[in-house]
Amino acid sequence: MSKNSKEASKSHSSWLIKIFVITFILSIVFNYLSTEVVENLNIVISIIILVLVILTGVVSDLIATAVTAANEAPFHAKAADKKRGAKQSVAIIKNADKVSNVCGDVVGDICGVLSGATSALIAMNIATEVLHVEDITVTTMLVTATVTGCTVLGKAIGKHLGITKANKIVNIIGVIISYIPFIKK
Convert the pLDDT of each residue in 48-67 to its tens digit: 999 999 999 999 999 999 99
Question: Is pLDDT at 31 greater than 90 in this prediction?
Answer: no
Average pLDDT over residues 18-28: 88
> Residues 84-98: pLDDT tens digits?
999 999 999 999 999
Alpha-helix residue ranges (DSSP H) falling in the chain: 3-39, 43-69, 73-80, 86-94, 96-100, 108-125, 137-164, 166-178
Confidence at residue 2, expressed as pLDDT on a 0 to 100 scale: 65
Confidence band (pLDDT; 50, 70, 90) for 175? very high
Categorise residue 85: left if φ over 0, alpha if ψ from -120 to 50, beta otherwise.
left
pTM, 2 dp: 0.85
Q: Looking at the predicted structure, is the pLDDT value of residue 22 above 70? A: yes
Short-list 113, 92, 94, CA closest to 50 = 113
Average pLDDT, the chain: 90
Give the three-state DSSP class for 182. coil
